[in-house]
Structure 1
């Protein structure tokens, strides 16, 4: 018998199609490498790391009733996730993400999350109809939310009484969607996980360090932020002060999913009662192991 879920992961669950090469690449490069297809998406990547750490995440997302969707739902269940609350669409195909990575990092990516966007608030029904919560009896556990949702839906979540008691952890899907997180700057409870570029987009200015970015986001109204900067120092910022730590130096073999791994590891550390500095350190270590290709946790 499966144990009850202890965190909700809301957002993109799709197929990641990733081409990786050991060569440095530029526009127009044609090089040998490997192409893989794995379950992915921001919500899925976070859920996979949470599951590896022993938590049981429940997925709130949209997946098509096509063969790819059936295969994806089975893969999620096999990885230890609660798939009972997924919205399965009859007329929307299962979403996909395609990226190309070289030795010099991410070269290009295309995210086809149109089905998730089209499903809209339908993915939130279990939090509204009493299955997991309602406006009168809000869900009171942790929620990992990704920015692949539409701006209208994110604004609805930020203001909804159904999320009034949730421990809300929010991450953008990409720098191109970072500005969708503006409703959570004044949310009062949300913790924002962003990188340096995303922080700059939210504040409409450039930052040269994670500390400066964290301070800028707090000044714009954020309650708490975690800002990463690749191989540079990351910063946990609250009104109580800023905590910065540098990540371990490792050989980078992959980058897609690193931020999601960082976020999930941080959520687990705090769920286990770790203080801010320790939780930040554990998250940085998990992300370093991920980008180095070491999946041991």
Structure 2
């Protein structure tokens, strides 16, 4: 059995994305393209990690339905380890649907109910082997997303199975950002959020990534990265704050950009990059993604 470089824990589903070149508003009916591709936060992170040469294992829930079988095969073809995926007989494979226009994301609906219903079953390989146990915990990195329930994220925060894990945390969306609060002060956690998500965690908005990152550290976070679209991004820890600006690009898509940024930063640090260099690598990968220069 192949040993993974990193675990991706959370949402793996089908993304159904409608994209149009026109500016859109509520009620718009315009021509465009509709695609169905493997997605979900954990999956998006895993795909970027593969592009950087890492081998991720997926810990998620996928139904034993035809679309679930298709999804597992797509994951395998893309070089991901699926041996530890929880396959449910009675839960359907999750889906995400979004509409994007020239002015960005118009609306989205995430149907991750099966992942939520599966709960701790997706972590069996970490509690009972072969990836780890409470006595011999997983010691590598693990990307965890906010599609998991608050109860399961709270369990991860206190679990001995994660006491040696390099935790990398990402909200699934602004609406789920506060689910990560139990893990905010975990001594081995790095938090990746955008400016809106940071404001929700702080219970007050901030004008810049720098101020939000600093405030999260003051609130107990160990290390945070805050992005703000095309504006300055910030990395903060107890030693201070580092800032960098993404390069200007023509935006052709937005869904998955934050996940790409996070995965690229993890990959950069795995290669030994630190500080400004790792942040620059992550911003460059995100810029390539939103400009359409990276295939999905």
User: What TM-score, normalized to structure 1?
Assistant: 0.98
1:133-144 → structure 2 map (5 Å cutoff): 133-144=132-143
Report the Cα offset of residue 4 of structure 1: 2.6
**Structure 1 regions of 5+ residues with no counterpart?**
none
**Structure 2 regions of 5+ residues with no counterpart?**
none
Instruction: Give the corresponding residue for 1:228.
Output: 227
Cα distance in 1, alignment partners of residues 154 and 274 from structure 2: 30
Cα distance in 2, alignment partners of residues 215 and 295 from structure 1: 32
Cα distance in 2, alignment partners of residues 276 and 47 from structure 1: 22
What is the CA deviation profile of residues 56-79 of structure 1, one whole-angstrom value per residue up to 9, with x for unaligned ones?
Answer: 100000000000000000000000
1:242-261 → structure 2 map (5 Å cutoff): 242-261=241-260
User: Secondary structure of 1:181's partner?
Assistant: helix
1:10 and 2:9 equivalent?
yes
Report the Cα offset of residue 296 of structure 1: 7.0
Report the Cα offset of residue 189 of structure 1: 1.4
User: Secondary structure of 2:232's partner?
Assistant: strand
What is the CA deviation profile of residues 252-283 of structure 1, one whole-angstrom value per residue up to 9, with x for unaligned ones?
Answer: 00000000000000000000000111000000
Instruction: Give the corresponding residue for 2:214.
Output: 215
Cα distance in 1, alignment partners of residues 191 and 3 from structure 2: 26
Give the aligned CA root-mean-square deviation in angstroms.
1.0
Instruction: Give the corresponding residue for 2:292.
Output: 293
Question: CA 1:296 to 1:37, structure 2 compared with 1: closer, same or farther past 3 Å?
Answer: closer
Cα distance in 2, alignment partners of residues 199 and 260 from structure 1: 16
Instruction: Give the corresponding residue for 1:31.
Output: 30
Report the Cα offset of residue 3 of structure 1: 4.5
Report the Cα offset of residue 219 of structure 1: 0.7
Instruction: Give the corresponding residue for 1:264.
Output: 263
1:69 and 2:79 equivalent?
no
Report the Cα offset of residue 131 of structure 1: 1.1
Report the Cα offset of residue 88 of structure 1: 0.0
Report the Cα offset of residue 130 of structure 1: 2.2
Instruction: Give the corresponding residue for 2:239.
Output: 240
Report the Cα offset of residue 184 of structure 1: 1.5
Matched residue count: 296
User: What TM-score, normalized to structure 2?
Assistant: 0.99
1:160-175 → structure 2 map (5 Å cutoff): 160-175=159-174
User: Secondary structure of 1:232's partner?
Assistant: coil
